[in-house]
A and B are shown apart, each in its own frame.
Chain A
Amino acid sequence: MNTKAILELKDISMYFPGIKALDSVDFSIRPGEVHALIGENGAGKSTLVKIITGVYKQTAGQVLLNGEETNFKSALDAQSAGITAIHQEASMFPELSVTENIFMGHHVKKGASGKGPVDWKTMRQRTRELLDDIELDISPDALVKSLGVAQRHMVEIAKALSIDAQIVIMDEPTSALTLREVEDLYKIIRRLRDEGKAIIFISHKFEEIFDICDTYTVFRDGQLIGDGNVSDATISSIINMMVGRSLDLLYPKGESTIGDVVLEVENLNRTGYFKNISFNLHKGEILGFFGLIGAGRTEVMRVLFGIDKASSGEVRLNGKPVSFTKPKKAMKAGIAYIPEDRHEQGTILDMSIADNITLPNVDELSHFGILDEKAERSLAEDFAKKIEIKSAGLNMKTSTLSGGNQQKVVLAKWLSTGPEILILDEPTKGIDVGTKARVHKIVSDMAAEGKAIILVSSELPEVLGMSDRIVVMHEGFVTSVFEREEADPDKVMLAAIAQPGDESA
């Protein structure tokens, strides 16, 4: 293990407007090493991966490949330099065959000069070999849209292997795989390692890290917290590094009295997204929803807010069965939903701050469909003040604000509707610590006023710090529900990574 590093990152920083995604971090990996990259969502792992794969250009610092400084201008540059990545979100061509998905961008051609026609026979043969390698029993000619999620992931893996890469990055490669497929993947990883390749392995599942990884690096809030050999670490030492910060400051969970049940969800289903979801929500309660990306939490919330339709099941509001076919109906019933994607769903960036805040209220503020600009203005001003939005004026476009202030606009927008039930989906993703604390305070205050709150978050400390109860989901199912007292990081994380089948037992 004393060979020289194949890839070395020195003093890397990456700034986005209003946020330091990475702050002077170092990272290195040697050939024949499987290196775990560990951290919560937003800790800086994916930013680091994007710098390595040429998607982002670092603000400062050096990337050395085989001791030489690189300057990737695109993902393609990194690829030709022998770096390949298996992305978390499959970037595939659903209408095309498995073979083509694997070879798009580097089709094999006939003829010695490589100028002949595309050589389907060879590509199909190589695909066959790659698929055999990972023991995936599908035809190279199968269209990707006909494959299941796990199969697609395996194809992504095959795609990465089709490039003769020196460095393979795997971003949560097992999140959609069954146990048997995970075993196959381990075999592949071990083989690659023995061939002298360097593997960067990103995972939330600790047992995987201990099963397969040699070394690890932990990130938190864009900073390097610790690294070393996996054999020297324990689960609890790693969790400590991931989470270790003073919880009370950032999570000012106040006292609130839990009242009657307002919302009952019973055996809710949406085909292909989640199954048999049941839970209750009380007045004054903050109900946390934890799970990995793709666990189905957002999909449940979308149904509750009337964006999507449930396939079956019942939702009762104050004891009465309801079925919201449109968001407007959910809003009238007193539900507000702060969506996951601030830019695509939460705000309209090219509209003014004031217009964004009043958008869900325009109907209520109008007379016979005619806008009441005065009333709108005063409502916007009230809530901008209450939420402390820092801006040069409410007529400014929302796009001119920092991420944190944009999120405050979204909060103001929905608090102004006077909701009884507030659903927040990843409300503090990608915002600075100050705004984060402010958001938590507002949520906590609302609960103290007796409002019912659902907090969906992939940040374990946030869920642990803020929730009265925690619902944990895994691949479309609820695996556990924890009371505040009994919830600890280990238990909750274990529930979130449970293999399918466990919950039915």
Chain B
Amino acid sequence: MAKLLIGTAPVLSCEGLQKSYGDQPAVVEVGFDIAPGETFGLLGPNGAGKTTTISMIAGLLRPDAGSITVAGERMSPTAAAAKGAVGLVPQDLAIYPDLSARENLTFFGRLYGLAKQPLRTRTDEVLEVIGLTDRAGDRAGEFSGGMKRRLNIGIGLLHRPRLLILDEPTVGVDPQSRNAILESVEQLSGEGLAVLYTTHYMEEAERLCRRIAIVDQGRLIAEGTRRELVATLGEQDLVRLEVFGDAVAAAEACAGVEGVRSADVEESTVVCLMHGAGSRLASLLGAVAEQGATVTGVEVREPDLEDVFLHLTGKALRH
């Protein structure tokens, strides 16, 4: 597995992680490192094992096998030093709606052992970072979805962790708040914070993450920079054919055309990964027509992460 370290020693180092629920393997031989200042993306469909992986890294679950080291400390559910180096931002909002923003921050700050005066100072700083200074005394339950999300992130940042785990932080967030969150992550990463970022949104991964790992069915099936991952598809083109008629039969016909490496169906669209699309497009359209289907639209472009994901897993990311 390729490893890229921006700074010195990695903040997070996972090796051979395994976790099963009964006979059902949830995570199988997963390993990766994250360097200081690096934002690492973990992509995968629902049930791929992302949350279980994050749970083990945050010390919520004990792995069946493998090791996790955070800031030089071995992680386990009872490892206080390692846990203190991690800031967790769960996918579901993890705030108390009946406490104010300040009270939420203060409570978790005290749990992380921050002393009274430093906690007060740090709380003010975090409120400023997440843009809630003016609403610090208001009940969190009265906040908009975006404000709650920002408070959720702020709690994870409060104790100045070395590693910030963001699990789908922009789900259900309006575009403005979403952009604010992404800018915050970029800023934090620039300040040297290591970030583990899971998302369904490919454009977020492409914008934020220097390296990306793709997980499916508990396994890490690819890892690298965006360029490295796209390069795994080779010098290929992506052809999307909007089809009126039997798309499955059309895809099977396309798969038989020379130069086509894969042909998948996304609703009424046939997605082909192929060499030399410019010279073979007519053959492709002919193959579709032979199945009695009509092509209503054609798009030819270079593949992106979404296509890599589709190629590797056989399914779209937002399943």
Tell whether A pairs with B: no
